[in-house]
Structure 1
Amino acid sequence: MSLTAEQQELVTTVRAVLAKHGDSAAVRRGLETERGYDEQLWKLLCEQVGVAALAIPEEFGGIGAGLVEALLVVEELGRTLSAPPMLGSAVLGVQALLLAGNAEVNERLLPEVAEGARTLALCWAGPRGWDSFGVTASGETLSGTAHYVLDGVHADTLLVLTAEGLFELDGDAAGVTRTTLVTQDPTRKLARIDFEAATARPVGRPNVNRLREIAWAAVIAEQLGAAEQCLDMTVEYTRSRVQFGRPIGSFQALKHRMADMYVLVESTRSIAYLAIAGLAAGALEPIDIQAARLHAIDTFQSVVSETVQMHGGIAITWEHDAHLFFKRAHADAQLFGAPARPLTRPA
């Protein structure tokens, strides 16, 4: 997949906004807030760039660009570790509603999501992850616990995925208890949401396999952006760090290691864009997204490990961003699960 001129312009615009308003200092300020991200940055991205509206069809108040454009934004956010409700709300929440195909619900919810005035949280995982549902439905009554919900504590609308289909209810509805989780990755807020005989509105039956593929594609895009940033950080540092009278980046051993990092990043870009393009076009081979998911996990973890090593002791201090990327790498490896190894093609 090669980017069109419009897509490249979108990437350039988002990167410029993040460079000015979403740098490391802004991300760290966001960590100290209740929501865990810079709300002003999210407002800016929604109002000036329209990121929340990208994957929403025009008939529901969106831009109607598509899933690819939304994931390009996720990739750029991965470079900075910013975690506004883009992945959880504007990608997963929106795609769950579109897959459910309920026009009345979409007409009611999606225009406000496109404006950034409403956030969605997809409640899915059971205690052991996304291979099971945490919540069960009896008629229009929900009971159980959804684990690892992105932006779940503050989302305006909860979308609950069950074996019986997708349901919708307000975040502050009776019978709903939301709890922020303490996780390895401080840059992303996850929640546990308990449902005790909570009344919800049925939405429809989305294709769960496709929703999982979209979730994997979104994390792959984020991992790609983050891994590329780690590579850039490392190259820049080795240019400025002097040892034995010369920059350490001139040492052959480190050149080889950075070359290996580059190959990992670019190979991930190739397989990621192939999978994302196929997914958006409805012509995805399942093994493509599975392979991309596994390769992105390995790439991000390998690249960030090298980043830590080549930055020496400063990379494990709170003041340096490398340890935040390290934690995101290991958290992203678990987010939405992963296909089994080794991969096998269907007969």
Structure 2
Amino acid sequence: MTQLIVGKIGALAAEGIRDLLTRSLGGEPIARYTEQRLLEWATLREGGWDEIGVPEEAGGAGATLRDLAEVSMTWGEFCVPLPLVVTLAAKRWSPVAREHPGPVTVSVLSPVAGPLVPYGNEPGIRVLAGRNEFLESSNDGVADPFSLTMQPVAVEGSTTFDPVAARELAVLWAAEAVGAAKRCLRDAVAYAKERKQFGVPIGSFQAIKHRAAHMLELTERAETAVLWAAADDFREGAESIGTRRLVLHALATSREVVESAIQVHGGMGFTWEMGLHVYLRHVVALRELVQGLLPA
């Protein structure tokens, strides 16, 4: 039977990342830390977080894809605008990426906008051309403002992936979207317990109860899809229609959860300060990138 339970490395790493982000962000709303940096890449680098996915034979911690999926889900709950997830995947796959002390990203051929580099303007970032070389690109491109967290930059060339690398990055990006959905579900439930209409919490209304229950079902379905895609014996590769269906299902379902969370918040859900739109934009951007990684 496929083992879907997270390993010790994944559980400890996810707990560590959650603690780091909680301390670094200090409970600030997402709208603030997308505009003002509260966490620097150097902090992640000094903690060795960018190398936990490097195989043991290459001198790394040897975290499995299932472990990294757990870390990515935790990271997605905060949606910090730093390229940790893509760097984890890049350093797991590429020897030249492991030699670079800074963050590493990729160029994905988007079905909508052509080659896009997520986090393309992050200081010190390098863009992989393939497993053993970088693209010659500069950090002066104009970032797409739609995704406040990823801010992808259009470039000329795209990264050449092998099937396993494309599949693994797609799984981790889908896991990140699931984390965003879990966070939005949690925030929506907390809001429904506090917000009152007609003198009672809106969470006591049957319509809100049904919506919250459906959001929980969707979130669990999305997480299950990611875990199956990350399972060690699910190795059809990027060409597998099974992998593509699972990760796109997780992404579409996560988007539905975030949209429902906005509805639960009512008018407040559309405000800049609440920041739910940041999660929605992030999930939409992730889906576009995954479609480029795993074309039909």
For the superposition of Structure 1 and Structure 2, which TM-score range results when normalised by the shorter chain? 0.7 to 0.9
Pairing partner for 2:82 from 74, 81, 84: 84
**Residue type of the partner of 2:116?**
Y
Alignment: residue pair count? 288
Pairing partner for 2:119 from 151, 174, 181: 151
Q: Which has the larger radius of gyration?
A: 1
Identity %: 25
Q: Distance in 2 between matches of 1:56 and 1:156?
A: 18
1:110 equivalent in alignment to 2:107: no
Pairing partner for 2:147 from 185, 190, 193: 185
The equivalent residue for 1:143 is none
The equivalent residue for 1:63 is 61
- What SS does the aligned partner of 1:189 have? coil
Pairing partner for 2:257 from 288, 297, 303: 303
The alpha-carbon deviation at position 206 of structure 1 amounts to: 5.0
Counterparts in 2 of 1:317 and 1:72: CA distance versus 1, 3 Å: same
1:283 equivalent in alignment to 2:235: yes
Q: Is the 8 A contact 2:31 2:272 kept in 1?
A: no
Q: Unaligned stretches of 5+ in structure 1? A: 98-105, 135-146, 196-202, 342-347
The equivalent residue for 1:43 is 42
Q: Deviations over 1:239-259 (max 9, x none)?
A: 011112211111122111111
1:167 equivalent in alignment to 2:157: no
Aligned counterparts, 1:334-345, within 5 A: 334-337=288-291
The alpha-carbon deviation at position 88 of structure 1 amounts to: 2.5
The equivalent residue for 2:50 is 52
The alpha-carbon deviation at position 303 of structure 1 amounts to: 0.9
The alpha-carbon deviation at position 294 of structure 1 amounts to: 2.3
Counterparts in 2 of 1:179 and 1:19: CA distance versus 1, 3 Å: same
TM-score, normalised on structure 1?
Answer: 0.73
- What SS does the aligned partner of 2:231 have? helix
Q: Deviations over 1:232-290 (max 9, x none)?
A: 01100010111122111111221111111101111111121011114xx5634723322
Greater relative contact order (CA < 8 Å, ≥ 6 in sequence): 2
- What SS does the aligned partner of 1:160 have? strand
The alpha-carbon deviation at position 323 of structure 1 amounts to: 1.6
Aligned counterparts, 1:1-347, within 5 A: 1-22=4-25, 25=28, 27-32=30-35, 38-40=38-40, 42-48=41-47, 50-91=48-89, 93-97=90-94, 106=95, 109-112=97-100, 117-125=101-109, 128=112, 147-153=115-121, 154-161=123-130, 167-168=133-134, 171=137, 178-194=140-156, 206-207=161-162, 209-278=163-232, 281=233, 283-284=235-236, 286-337=240-291
**Residue type of the partner of 1:236?**
A
Of the structure 1 ranges 63-72 and 321-330, higher mean CA displacement relative to structure 2 is found in 63-72
Q: Distance in 2 between matches of 1:326 and 1:151?
A: 17
RMSD: 2.9
Q: Unaligned stretches of 5+ in structure 2? A: none
The equivalent residue for 1:139 is none
Counterparts in 2 of 1:109 and 1:9: CA distance versus 1, 3 Å: closer
TM-score, normalised on structure 2?
Answer: 0.84
Q: Is the 8 A contact 1:54 1:67 kept in 2?
A: no
Q: Deviations over 1:151-170 (max 9, x none)?
A: 22344433214xxx863356
- What SS does the aligned partner of 2:291 have? coil
Q: Is the 8 A contact 2:221 2:250 kept in 1?
A: no
Q: Deviations over 1:57-111 (max 9, x none)?
A: 24444222233323322211110111312123221x22441xxxxxxxx2x6515
Q: Distance in 2 between matches of 1:125 and 1:317?
A: 32
The alpha-carbon deviation at position 211 of structure 1 amounts to: 2.7
The alpha-carbon deviation at position 126 of structure 1 amounts to: 6.4
The alpha-carbon deviation at position 230 of structure 1 amounts to: 0.8
- What SS does the aligned partner of 1:55 have? coil
- What SS does the aligned partner of 1:43 have? helix
**Residue type of the partner of 1:94?**
K
